[in-house]
Amino acid sequence: MIKQKNLFVVRALIAPSYSDPTFTSSKVTEVLCGETVKILDTNKDWLQIEQNDGYISWLKSFYGTFETRPFKPDCIAMDKSVLPFGTYLKYENNNLLSVNNERYGSNLSRTNYGGNPKPENLIQIARTLLGCPYRWGGKSSLGFDCSGLVQSVFFACGMSLPRDAWQQSKFFNTSKIEGVDSKAGDLHFFGESGKISHVGISTGGFNLIHCQGWVKEESFENNKSGNKKLRDIYMHTCSVAVNLNK
């Protein structure tokens, strides 16, 4: 007899949970990486869950995996990062300063604000963000949504893009190419019924870095290891290089 997978283990660093099965409802709590929750009900790709403290809320299913057994931790993390990716800083007297005049020395990883476009750095920077959690409306390493990740990575490379995925598609609309021909740094767009709802940065061909549950690197090629859900809603690809060279 096959055991029913009535447990869910969160694999994103943070999974926000909501009062109703929609991102537009109120966020009520968070489920942490490695936490196991009980599934009470489902609504499409949303799960009604119960945490160990008895709290009940709704969680998007792309934050983790369905399991028959809980993850059993031995300890909890006590570390924290210094500053989230995307924080605006000043550089004075060999010190990095926040808008609140907090000093961080000069050894933090950073890039210049503005400057010439550097598309050759897109994948390198995007890969430093692998594992960052998904957050509706997010655009920092504390949490990205799909288009927030794209906008933030491009901005760090000296390129300003619109905020939402459909706007980004429109921005590059005149440089559409075949997905299989995409180069590293191009953009893959996804959606249904002609409406763009998701975007990812190509690493070449049908491979990409995108934020869905968390920032991940995968493929939507038509093979066993490809992400079939992405492949089913693939719409088009746009060349970033073509746009920059106009």
Residues 6+ apart with CB under 8 A from 195: 166
The H or E element spanning position 234 is: strand 234-238
In a domain, 90, yes or no: yes
Provide the pLDDT for residue 1.
38
pTM score of the predicted model: 0.84
In a domain, 2, yes or no: no
Quick one: CA dihedral 245, 230, 129, 151, positive or negative? positive
Same domain, 25 and 93: no
How far is CA 181 from each of CA 187, 202, 221, 237, rounded to the nearest angstrom?
11, 10, 13, 9
Same domain, 134 and 210: yes
**Burial class of 72 by CB neighbour count within 10 A (0 to 12, 13 to 18, 19+):** exposed
Provide the pLDDT for residue 224.
86
Same domain, 190 and 147: yes
For residue 61, the domain's CATH number is: 2.30.30.40
- Tens of pLDDT along the chain (246 residues) come to 345 789 999 998 889 999 999 999 999 999 989 999 999 999 999 999 999 999 999 999 999 999 999 999 998 877 666 788 898 889 888 888 888 888 887 778 888 887 788 889 999 999 999 999 999 999 999 999 999 999 999 999 999 999 999 999 999 999 999 999 999 999 999 999 999 999 999 999 999 999 999 999 999 999 888 999 999 999 999 999 866 655
In a domain, 95, yes or no: yes
In a domain, 216, yes or no: yes
In a domain, 32, yes or no: yes
Q: What is the DSSP letter of 2?
A: P
> How many CA atoms lie less than 13 Å away from 216 in the CB half-sphere?
15
Report the domain count for the chain: 3
In a domain, 217, yes or no: yes
Same domain, 63 and 28: yes
Same domain, 240 and 176: yes
Same domain, 175 and 103: no
Same domain, 195 and 179: yes
Residue 221 tokens read as 């090629």
In a domain, 200, yes or no: yes
Domain that holds residue 50: 7-67
Nearest to 64 by CA among 226, 216, 201, 190: 216
